[in-house]
């Protein structure tokens, strides 16, 4: 009973009490213009005085059905007075109230919990006193009564006091036995080929936690790899938050795809992130430690990024799909070149070799020009064009010549699959894997 596990977090940093104040303020300004034919927005002092009264009215409407907003000599000597009912206030802010329900839905979705599994609903923050907010929350959970045993303005202070007691070792025994299992507020991962974000620890994973994944080199004879660490929900690292970078040096030089490098992410109970990279062959290892305060986002920034990720979800899926197709084409082109270059001169007609080399050169030029703005369909079409070229050549090679290909194995053990995140074991793969069945 003393263990509390956070299942999910959600929120909207762009929504709060000031938004409600602004709606009332706009309503008052419109009323003033209608009554006096003057614009008080050009008088900053008048606006500050009016805003103060609007905020007071908002608070009073939590316990009263109507209030009067009054400001003497608001602008150009005109006294302002407006009667505001709770019903009108709710009408002015209804879209905001409904928007506040979206993070509730998101939190339930992320936690994989049905509404009926929620036993208590604790209201935190001054705006939760607004009757309409309480009504919508209750309705969302089938009329379930809200927990109001804690002052909404003091809830955060209560939590801070409990944490202070645990850290200091003072206080009641029940407090000392408490354990809070928090969650990672944003996904954590590294930059991979093309600037894509490869996630190792998913958002809302319970901490402490540790996850490992194997990666490999992208170019031939690399002797080092750079590991860039990010947090965020976007497909591309440029849209996420950079946390740090380190380099794994002096790894054995090999063909691309041969080295096996294990990257491990570990988050401890204090939220400190440890990232390490180790080469399987040489056991060379490097790591970085990222504390909570080092480059990490504030709660508002986190919620902002979650909102942006949801807004750009469709766009990100397309970008990721396009980039995956592009990287797959690059891998195919490398295998394409390796396949026909390893073939003995006597096994391939000069005109066929020239044709294949020309196709490869054209594809490389295309990648550097039109390929810069191409999408998945264009990359797939270009790959099929190369496949067609191989098909044409292979149809000219008789069975005896084809047997030669069995000995031309392209050794790229452990090559990282871009599409599915696994490993392609290249043993036994020859150039005929590049051939599309003509039937």
The region of weakest confidence among 82-91, 158-167, 260-269, 371-380 is: 158-167
Task: Supply the pLDDT for residue 346.
Answer: 62
Of the two residues 96 and 152, the one the predictor is more confident about is 96
Q: 115 and 70: one domain?
A: no
With a pLDDT cut of 90, the percent of the chain lying above it is 36
302 in any annotated domain: no
CATH number, domain of 238, equals 2.60.34.10
Task: Supply the pLDDT for residue 155.
Answer: 84
Q: 329 and 268: one domain?
A: no
Of the two residues 428 and 12, the one the predictor is more confident about is 12
305 in any annotated domain: no
Q: 263 and 383: one domain?
A: no
Q: 136 and 243: one domain?
A: no
Radius of gyration of the chain (CA): 31
CATH number, domain of 38, equals 3.90.640.10
Task: Supply the pLDDT for residue 33.
Answer: 94
Q: 423 and 321: one domain?
A: yes
Mean pLDDT across 41-52: 93
Q: Looking at residue 295, what DSSP letter applies?
A: S
- The number of folded domains in the chain is 4
37 in any annotated domain: yes
Q: 320 and 423: one domain?
A: yes
309 in any annotated domain: no
Among 93, 125, 144, where does a domain finish?
93
The region of weakest confidence among 43-47, 68-72, 297-301, 369-373 is: 297-301
Assign 429 a pLDDT band (cuts: 50, 70, 90): very low
Task: Supply the pLDDT for residue 432.
Answer: 37
Residue 176 pLDDT > 90: no
Give the whole-angstrom CA distance, residue 327 versus residue 191. 14
307 in any annotated domain: no
Q: 351 and 410: one domain?
A: yes
Helix (H) or strand (E) holding 125: none
C-beta of residue 120 within 8 angstroms of C-beta of residue 148: no
Task: Supply the pLDDT for residue 30.
Answer: 95
367 in any annotated domain: yes
Task: Supply the pLDDT for residue 412.
Answer: 38
Give the whole-angstrom CA distance, residue 134 versus residue 96. 13
Of the two residues 369 and 418, the one the predictor is more confident about is 369
Residue 266 pLDDT > 70: yes
Q: 154 and 228: one domain?
A: no
Q: Looking at residue 260, what DSSP letter applies?
A: -
CATH number, domain of 332, equals 1.20.1270.10
Task: Supply the pLDDT for residue 294.
Answer: 56
Q: 328 and 373: one domain?
A: yes
Assign 426 a pLDDT band (cuts: 50, 70, 90): very low
Q: Find, among 191, 183, 187, the residue nearest to 208 by Cα.
A: 183
Q: 221 and 157: one domain?
A: no
Q: Pick from 159-173, 317-331, 405-419 the range whose average pLDDT is largest.
A: 317-331
Count CA atoms closer than 13 A to 219's CA, side-chain side.
8
Task: Give all strands (DSSP E) within 388-432, no chain letters.
Answer: 415-416, 423-424
CATH number, domain of 114, equals 3.30.420.40
364 in any annotated domain: yes
342 in any annotated domain: yes
Structural domain boundaries enclosing 127: 3-12+98-179
Nearest 5°: phi and psi at 418? -70, -35
C-beta of residue 217 within 8 angstroms of C-beta of residue 256: yes
* Residue 37, token pair as written in the block: 């034919």
Among 127, 146, 179, where does a domain finish?
179
Q: 136 and 164: one domain?
A: yes
Q: 196 and 228: one domain?
A: yes
Residue 325 pLDDT > 70: yes
Assign 398 a pLDDT band (cuts: 50, 70, 90): low
**pLDDT averaged over every residue in the chain:** 82
Among 62, 93, 124, where does a domain finish?
93
C-beta of residue 8 within 8 angstroms of C-beta of residue 107: yes
Q: Pick from 76-85, 120-129, 312-321 the range whose average pLDDT is largest.
A: 76-85
Residue 214 pLDDT > 90: yes
């Amino acid at each position: 009973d003393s263990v509390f596990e956070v299942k999910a977090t959600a929120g909207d940093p762009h929504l709060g009490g000031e938004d409600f104040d602004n709606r009332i303020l706009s309503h008052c300004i419109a009323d003033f213009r209608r009554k006096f034919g003057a614009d008080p927005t050009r008088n900053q002092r008048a606006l500050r005085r009016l805003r103060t009264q609007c905020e007071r009215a908002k608070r009073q409407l939590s316990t009263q059905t109507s209030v009067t907003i009054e400001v003497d000599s608001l602008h150009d000597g005109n006294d302002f007075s407006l009667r505001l009912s709770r019903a009108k206030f709710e009408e002015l802010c209804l879209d905001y109230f409904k928007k506040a329900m979206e993070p509730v839905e998101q939190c339930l979705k992320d936690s994989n919990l049905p509404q009926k599994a929620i036993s208590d609903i604790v209201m935190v923050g001054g705006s939760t006193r607004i009757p309409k907010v309480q009504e919508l929350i209750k309705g969302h959970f089938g009329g379930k009564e809200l927990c109001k045993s804690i002052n909404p303005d003091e809830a955060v202070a209560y939590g801070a006091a409990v944490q202070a007691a645990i850290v200091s070792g003072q206080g009641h025994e029940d407090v000392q036995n408490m354990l809070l299992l928090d969650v990672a507020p944003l996904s954590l991962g590294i930059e991979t080929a093309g600037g894509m974000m490869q996630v190792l620890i998913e958002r809302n994973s319970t901490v402490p936690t540790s996850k490992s994944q194997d990666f490999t080199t992208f170019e031939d004879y690399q002797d080092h790899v750079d590991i860039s660490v990010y947090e965020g929900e976007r497909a591309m690292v440029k849209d996420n938050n950079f946390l740090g970078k380190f380099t794994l040096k002096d790894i054995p030089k090999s063909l691309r795809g041969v080295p096996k490098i294990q990257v491990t992410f570990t988050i401890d109970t204090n939220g400190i992130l440890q990232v390490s990279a180790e080469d399987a062959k040489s056991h060379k290892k490097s790591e970085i430690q990222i504390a909570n305060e080092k480059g990490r986002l504030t709660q508002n920034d986190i919620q902002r990024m979650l909102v942006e990720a949801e807004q750009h979800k469709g766009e990100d899926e397309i970008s990721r799909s396009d980039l995956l197709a592009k990287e797959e084409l690059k891998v195919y082109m490398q295998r394409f070149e390796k396949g026909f270059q390893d073939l003995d001169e006597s096994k391939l007609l000069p005109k066929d070799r020239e044709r294949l080399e020309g196709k490869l050169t054209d594809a490389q030029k295309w990648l550097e020009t039109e390929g810069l703005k191409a999408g998945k369909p264009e990359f797939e079409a270009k790959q099929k064009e190369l496949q067609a070229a191989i098909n044409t050549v292979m149809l000219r090679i008789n069975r005896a010549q084809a047997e030669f290909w069995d000995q031309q194995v392209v050794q790229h053990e452990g090559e990282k699959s871009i599409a599915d995140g696994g490993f392609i074991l290249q043993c036994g793969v020859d150039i005929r894997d590049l051939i599309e069945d003509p039937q």
